[in-house]
Amino acid sequence: MKATIDFDDALYRRLKVEAARTGRTIRDLVAEGVRLVLGLAHPGNDQSTAEEWFGRLGEYADNARGEHDLAAMRRSIARGRDREGSG
């Protein structure tokens, strides 16, 4: 089924960058986002999704500034979200 979705310009630019960075289509990213919101599993649970997830965890660990407890990881994730929201 096709749908038309209006995105804020800045959000759409970020979506395009993420699609290019990960070698995926915008359609794939939007569908994945909808599945996440609905709590549905990714079809086939492909390995690339797991690799991307672990890669993202590595980024958060790097940003934890030498602290490796749960609180430090939460602060790192929050910093990442703050940076994403301000872009």
pLDDT of 44 above 60: no
Contact 19, 26 (CB under 8 A): yes
First-to-last C-alpha distance (Å) of the chain: 31
What residues does each domain of the chain span?
1-43, 46-87
Query: What are the pLDDT digits (tens) for 61-80?
Result: 666 666 666 777 677 777 77
Q: Using CA atoms, how far apart are residues 51 and 22, in angstroms rounded to an integer?
A: 11
Query: What are the pLDDT digits (tens) for 1-36?
Result: 888 999 999 999 999 999 998 899 999 999 988 888
At 38, is the pLDDT very low, low, confident or very high (cuts 50, 70, 90)?
confident
Contact 77, 85 (CB under 8 A): no
Q: Using CA atoms, how far apart are residues 82 and 69, in angstroms rounded to an integer?
A: 20
Tokens representing residue 85 in the block: 């929201």
